[in-house]
Structure 1
């Protein structure tokens, strides 16, 4: 069955690059009007979507701030009148350090963006979807939300939190016509992995070795999973944390 999101509205946080950009474009290709959100003004994704002949707007928003997130959802509704899909993807990796060397500043910043940000997004997205009687939310966690990952304690804790929060919201929304799931990407070729590896060959190879298939995933491969989760083909799927990786979790 061909997936179509014609006359639907999708919101994507962290939409200026990487997985967010790929997913925003994927929504547009399926006919959705797209709200692209990021914390720095950047219209590149919106322009790419418009080149496809689809509608899109950009909203600047810091997902760790309640007032920003409230404004984000309000603007989306004012512009397009509804909210059918939300991909809560904005996140940071924080500073690499062992648990005992992690600073309070790094802990707070990472948790505020990666976990509090997801909660705030759902806090304001879900009521709009309740009004419609239908909606789908996909939160971006990580394989680091399913297993441990040395040197990133705040990131790992936040992503485990996203998985738990997703399952809780899914139970709360199950009879309200709203599905809530999480996608847990493995090592994906994005600006984040470039920062973690510093683009150094030895570091890149170490990260590749984590994936049994021997390569990084592509943002488009995660976008495909998100699109499926939002589609009617996944109508019986809620409360799941789907690992999308090259065997990382199985390994």
Structure 2
């Protein structure tokens, strides 16, 4: 057995059009997996990355703010002949405002996309794997705010804290059924979600001072952890939340 070989495997990656999702999709393909990319916008760049690795790419367009999308994703993947045994729940949004001013609309939008839809996609994916009797891996993309409070992102913090708990609960229920459920908690990463922070000179400087590695993460920094959690190397890893944060939480 090759510990980090994903040959013959198929991974569903949500939010695969850009940032962390695109990097993980390309990385898993480089390790041998075919990829089913899920997103609301075109994934042409990701498709090119996967093709360059010599793997198959299937695009599924879905609005993951709606819980019923979970069944649609699984049905479309099956219709395309993709028997998925890896699920990466990466899609997410963020809304920023002081807690005193935060709106119900912004609360619901983030919780629906970042937590509710993740649960129902995990459920649909696990049902298929358990029915077929095949082992599977689920990797949720958590956050430093699964451990900390942050500021001005109440719904994001609530969702990512909930996702950490959900990861542990699902691991407890499904470990004995052949499904590993774990999470990656990225640090501050150069993505669309952090554009506002990086554009704020004072906040950017404060963040950099706190990171022992001395730089923001790049999406590619998440790839090694994703391959590990998807691969045979992590067959006995259940319910862990793995920070990839440049040392932020150690500070």
The TM-score bracket by the shorter chain reads: over 0.9
Partner of 1:164: 165
In the superposition, relative to structure 1, how do residues 153 and 210 fare at CA in structure 2: closer, same or farther (>3 Å)? Answer: farther
Moved more, 7-16 or 211-220: 211-220
Could you tell me whether the CA contact under 8 Å between 1:46 and 1:56 is conserved in 2?
Answer: yes
1:47: how far off?
2.1
Q: Aligned partners of 2:250, 2:244: CA distance in 1, in Å?
A: 11
Partner of 1:52: 53
Superimposed CA distance per residue, residues 170-203 of structure 1 (whole angstroms, 9 cap, x where no aligned partner): 1110110000001111101112112433x34444
1:163: how far off?
0.3
In the superposition, relative to structure 1, how do residues 149 and 12 fare at CA in structure 2: closer, same or farther (>3 Å)? Answer: same
Could you tell me whether the CA contact under 8 Å between 2:36 and 2:82 is conserved in 1?
Answer: no
Could you tell me whether the CA contact under 8 Å between 1:13 and 1:88 is conserved in 2?
Answer: yes
Partner of 1:68: 69
Q: Aligned partners of 2:215, 2:26: CA distance in 1, in Å?
A: 23
Partner of 1:147: 148
Q: Aligned partners of 2:75, 2:210: CA distance in 1, in Å?
A: 41
Partner of 2:84: 83
Structure 1 gaps of 5+ residues are none
2:49 match: secondary structure: helix
TM-score, structure 2 as length reference: 0.94
Q: Aligned partners of 1:211, 1:15: CA distance in 2, in Å?
A: 27
1:81: how far off?
4.0
Could you tell me whether the CA contact under 8 Å between 1:43 and 1:58 is conserved in 2?
Answer: no
Could you tell me whether the CA contact under 8 Å between 1:62 and 1:69 is conserved in 2?
Answer: no
Could you tell me whether the CA contact under 8 Å between 2:28 and 2:226 is conserved in 1?
Answer: no
5 Å-filtered alignment, 1:1-251, equals 1=2, 3-94=4-95, 96-130=96-130, 131-197=132-198, 199-251=199-251
Superimposed CA distance per residue, residues 96-116 of structure 1 (whole angstroms, 9 cap, x where no aligned partner): 222222111111101111111
Instruction: Give me the CA root mean square deviation.
Output: 1.5
1:146: how far off?
0.9
Q: Aligned partners of 1:226, 1:23: CA distance in 2, in Å?
A: 7
Could you tell me whether the CA contact under 8 Å between 2:171 and 2:239 is conserved in 1?
Answer: yes
TM-score, structure 1 as length reference: 0.94
Superimposed CA distance per residue, residues 18-58 of structure 1 (whole angstroms, 9 cap, x where no aligned partner): 11000000111111110011122332211221133211011
1:25 match: secondary structure: helix
Moved more, 130-139 or 160-169: 130-139
1:244: how far off?
1.1
2:177 match: secondary structure: coil
